[in-house]
């Protein structure tokens, strides 16, 4: 089950109505929230991808359930390129080679819907909004690599973990938006 903040029913509507309704729903949502759009128009998948790219929102993926297409979009925060503050940083390539040589804990702080469509195998999903109440799930002495889409949310998470007493916290930059290593899905 993919966790979303809102669901939009666009079933039975033909182009351009699913996009018109999606635009209106996204405008009313908070930055970073995930919208599920339920549509029956077969062309809506290409439309949602193109519209997301043109507006800066993130197209996460589509799941087919019978005749219904469930599209998942994340509203952009507009500050995806904020200044990085956590000093301990690792590149995607360095993390990949580290993962091959030793046991690394990768904590993915993106929303659960983002994680479901694309994540590093064995990564732990801890959305940024749930991080503080779930700190006990992590080993304070382990080397923890924090990843998100661009390095901004993971930067915040790395700061939170460090201030909570975690010893070896490393922010992965630029994150999943440019990850070339292995990935998997968990949308079932």
- Residues annotated catalytic, as ranges: 15
**Short-list 39, 35, 25, CA closest to 3:** 35
Q: CA end-to-end span of the chain, whole Å?
A: 7
Give the separation between CA 149 and CA 67, rounded to whole angstroms.
31
Paired tokens of 106: 């990768």
Give the separation between CA 153 and CA 64, rounded to whole angstroms.
29
Are 15 and 47 a contacting pair, CB within 8 Å?
yes
Give the separation between CA 115 and CA 108, rounded to whole angstroms.
7
CA separation (Å) from 112 to 11, 105, 139, 161? Answer: 24, 18, 21, 19
Are 111 and 153 a contacting pair, CB within 8 Å?
no
**Short-list 83, 60, 74, 84, CA closest to 31:** 74
């Amino acid at each position: 089950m993919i966790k979303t903040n809102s669901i939009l029913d666009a079933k039975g509507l033909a182009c351009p109505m699913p996009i018109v309704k999606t635009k209106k729903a996204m405008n009313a949502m908070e930055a970073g929230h995930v919208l599920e759009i339920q549509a029956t128009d077969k062309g809506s998948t290409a439309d949602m991808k193109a519209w997301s790219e043109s507006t800066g929102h993130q197209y996460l993926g589509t799941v087919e359930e019978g005749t219904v297409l469930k599209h998942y979009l994340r509203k952009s925060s507009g500050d995806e390129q904020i200044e990085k503050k956590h000093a301990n940083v690792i590149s995607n390539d360095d993390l990949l080679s580290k993962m091959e040589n030793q046991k690394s804990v990768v904590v993915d702080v993106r929303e659960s819907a983002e994680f479901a469509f694309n994540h590093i195998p064995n990564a732990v999903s801890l959305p940024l909004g749930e991080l503080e109440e779930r700190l006990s799930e992590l080993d304070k002495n382990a080397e923890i690599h924090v990843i998100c889409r661009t390095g901004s949310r993971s930067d915040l998470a790395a700061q939170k973990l460090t201030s909570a007493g975690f010893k070896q916290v490393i922010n992965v930059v630029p994150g999943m938006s440019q990850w070339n290593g292995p990935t998997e899905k968990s949308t079932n």
